[in-house]
Amino acid sequence: MCGIVGYIGKNQDVRMGLDVLRRLEYRGYDSAGVAWYSPEKKEIFCLKKAGRIDDLEKLITESNLELKGNPFILHTRWATHGGVTDENAHPHWDCKKEIFSIHNGIIENYRELKEKLLKEGHKFTSETDTEVVCHLIEKYFQGNLEEAVRKALKEVRGTYGLVVIAKKDPGKIVAARLSSPLILGVNQEGILIASDPSAVITHTRQVINLDDNEIAVLKMDNFHILKEKAFVQIDWTPEEAQKGGYPHFMLKEIMEEPETIENAVRGRLLPDEGNVKLGGLALVENRLRGTKKVFLIACGTASYAARAGEYMLEEYTNLSTEVDLASEFRYRKPIIDKSTAGIFISQSGETADTLAAIREMKEKGALTIGITNVVGSSQSRETAAGIYTRSGQEVAVASTKAFIGQLATLAMLTVYLGRQREMSLVMGKRIVSELAKLPDLARKVLSQSSEIEKISQKYKDFKNFWFMGRKYNYPIALEGTLKLKETSYLHAEGVAAGELKHGALALIDENFPTVAICPSDSVYEKMISNIQEIKARKGPILAIATEGNEDIKKIVDDVIYIPKTLEMLTPILATIPLHLLAYYIAVTLGNDVDKPRNLAKSVTVE
Ligand code: AGP
């Protein structure tokens, strides 16, 4: 959703804040704004504009205002309430333009609060929910900002990462959090507050996560929060946050997929015992041994990893397994008890629907396990135990390497739970040794990137696509579909190949290509009959097949080969060409692949 930045400290250069805000632009980018307190003029100045941060920068230059002062707050928006206009951009202010705030989240009861404030004579300048909070703070302000914020938030229902400054209580930033992420980055110079750690790594590696219902008061040389908080060490480098020489973060992150597998398995594989060591599960090892039923729950791309995980767990652990979308799970009435475990998968660890599903599971006494990428994120703190995927920072909105990290982590979890049950030492050893080989096999797939780019040029002018697979690779067909849709804006659908003849086949003709994921596995023959059905209707076919399979060349138009591996691990290799295909088609179509229209990196509202 939105990106929030606040700073108080020795540095009076507000432009420093703009650089930090740019690191958060992937969170939302339809409008931006800045407000800063000028000690000389004892005034708060504010500039905001619909458009990208570049457009705000232009406005700043045209304003001839001196961007000097402290504290300062900045915001990049992903609209939820009120259209994309200059007025609805953040920061918002009160009637006297003395209290300024920026917000990430949704104030659910803003309409009734606004009606009350209008009756009390407040004047509004925007259609947003956030501005209501400004006027509420104004209502309670008697010189002490945090007191006014505390009283105002008592009336607010919803989610917020909120940062406020006030002309009449200068030299202070007050920040409050409920559900939407906020972190503090502290160094000798001062204190940065931001929506996620990636924004502060050029400033400090030591961050503090604000927890729900916490209010932080930041002053020039100190800050206090309600309770003692531990610093978390951020091990990402600023370079990692930059593109590393690639034209786009998406391509950089696809090229990091082999390393992502290496990071996920490093120090966790126990080849001699045919097992894995997952330190984050140590506290719940016995509870997991007694688990009878598993729910895999997530959103978007992470939900496709969950689907692939379902096939793995069912085949190798005999655990009764169910997959669900977090946004649906919350409104279902599944049988859940103490022998149930909920496994929640999220790159950001901040996806609102997934967090709500965790709370639902906990409510019913089930064990909650998080598979998360962002260290210290809400999911990692709200679940009873978990596994970090260690995929490194993922900047591009379209999730690629994090998905690969999730699949590798689910494969390790399968061994962990399988070896607690009937999985043999031999089978355990087989999966563990294959997992150890995967990074090099993935590099082999990536070495074909220029061929895949050539193939993508053949398909870039089609308007509709089928992606089809069976068993482990049905979820990969869904993932390939989502990547193409969200980056190229072309229509694509993922289908379980066996479903084709039940309707989808009606759409097939020479203008409707199919990407068929058909490695040489237990359902290969079935896939070939589905491919024949499409061929018979002149549908163009691009196949993802196992190297050495020369026959397939005779029946399809194009083939991208992946190395041979265990059936349960083929999804990890089969995904890589699909990520590249989507990337190359989207770039050829001239789209902003790192920040696709209408999307955001972590969806922190329902
Ligand atoms: C994937 O490319 C999308 N960005 C989106 O579907 C994403 O997977 C979904 O929002 C879940 O995000 P999470 O993994 O951070 O929870």
Cα dihedral across residues 278, 279, 284, 286: positive or negative: positive
At residue 188, the pLDDT reads 82
Q: At what angle do helices 257-265 and 570-588 cross, to 10 degrees?
A: 150
CA nearest neighbour of 294 among 205, 369, 384: 369
| Residue 323: strand, helix, or coil | strand
Q: Which of the listed residues 489, 603, 605, 606 should we mutate to test ligand 1's pocket, taking the one with most ligand atoms within 8 A of CB?
A: 603
Residues 38-78: tens digit of each pLDDT: 999 999 999 999 988 999 999 999 998 999 999 999 999 88
Closest atom of ligand 1 to 599 CA is 4
User: 32 — phi, psi (to 5°)?
Assistant: -150, 160
Task: Tell me the pTM.
Answer: 0.75
Question: For position 232, what pLDDT does the model report?
Answer: 67
Q: CB of 223 within 8 A of CB of 208?
A: no
Under DSSP, is residue 438 helix (H, G, I), strand (E, B) or coil?
helix
- Ligand 1: nearest atom to the Cα of 354: 16
Closest to 410 (Cα-Cα) out of 516, 315, 521, 293: 315
Bridging pattern class, strands 367-372 and 385-388: parallel
Number of neighbouring beta carbons within 10 Å of residue 49: 20
Instruction: Classify strands 340-346 and 293-298 as parallel, antiparallel or unpaired.
Output: parallel
Answer yes or no: is pLDDT of 231 > 80.
Answer: no
Mean pLDDT, rounded, of the chain = 93
Across the strands, what pairs with 32? Answer: 49, 76
Rounded distance, CA 578 to CA 94, Å?
Answer: 49
Query: Taking 90 as the threshold, does the pLDDT of residue 198 lie above it?
Result: no
Q: Could you identify the atom of ligand 1 that is nearest to the CA of residue 402?
A: 14
- Phi and psi torsions of 345, nearest 5°: -115, 125
Please give the pLDDT value at position 201.
Answer: 80
287 CA → ligand 1 middle, Å: 29
Residue 293 DSSP SS3: strand
Question: Could you tell me if 496 and 468 are in contact, meaning their C-beta atoms sit under 8 angstroms apart?
Answer: yes
User: pLDDT per residue over 111-158, tens digit each?
Assistant: 999 999 999 999 999 999 999 999 999 999 999 999 999 999 999 988
Q: Would the pLDDT of 224 be above 90?
A: no
* SS3 state at 485: helix
In the DSSP assignment, the letter for residue 595 is S
Ligand 1 centroid–CA 600 distance in Å is 9
Helix (H) or strand (E) holding 31: strand 31-38
- Report, in this order, helix, strand and coil percent for the chain, each rounded to 5: 40, 25, 35
Helix H segments across 229-278?
238-241, 249-255, 257-265
372 CA from centroid of ligand 1 (Å): 12
Which amino acid is located at 332 in the chain?
Answer: R
pLDDT of residue 578: 98
Residue 266: exposure state from Cβ atoms within 10 A (0-12, 13-18, ≥19): exposed
Taking the C-alpha atoms of residue 149 and residue 174, their distance in angstroms, rounded to an integer, is 8
Ligand 1 pocket list (CB less than 6 A): 299-302, 346-348, 351, 354, 397-399, 486, 602-603
The H or E element that residue 104 is part of is strand 99-104
pLDDT band of residue 3 (cuts 50, 70, 90) is very high
Q: Mutate which of 329, 602, 604, 606 to test ligand 1's pocket (most atoms within 8 Å of Cβ)?
A: 602
- Cα 169 to ligand 1 centre (Å): 40
- Whether the bond into 71 is cis, omega within 30 of 0: yes
212-223, pLDDT tens digit by residue?
A: 888 999 988 776
For residue 422, is pLDDT > 90? yes
Q: Which atom of ligand 1 is nearest to the CA of 602?
A: 15
pLDDT at 30: 86
Return the HEC string of 46-82: EEEEECCHHHHHHHHHHHCCCCECCCEEEEEECCCCC
Q: What local confidence, expressed as pLDDT, does residue 126 receive?
A: 94
Residue 194's Cβ-side half-sphere holds a number of Cα atoms within 13 Å equal to: 26
Q: pLDDT digit string (tens) for 238-291? A: 555 567 789 999 999 999 999 999 999 999 999 999 999 999 999 999 999 999
402 alpha carbon to ligand 1 midpoint, in Å? 9
**What's the pLDDT score for residue 189?**
87
Q: Cα–Cα distance between 162 and 178 in angstroms, integer?
A: 9
Q: Annotated active-site positions, please?
A: 2, 601
What sign has the CA pseudo-torsion 518, 523, 525, 527?
Answer: negative
Q: Angle 371-377-383 (CA atoms, 0-180°, nearest 5)?
A: 50
High-pLDDT (> 90) share of the chain, %: 80
Q: Which of 69, 129, 54, 142 is nearest to 99 (CA)?
A: 142
Q: How close is the Cα of 397 to the center of ligand 1, in Å? A: 8
Ligand 1 atom at shortest distance from the alpha carbon of 374: 15
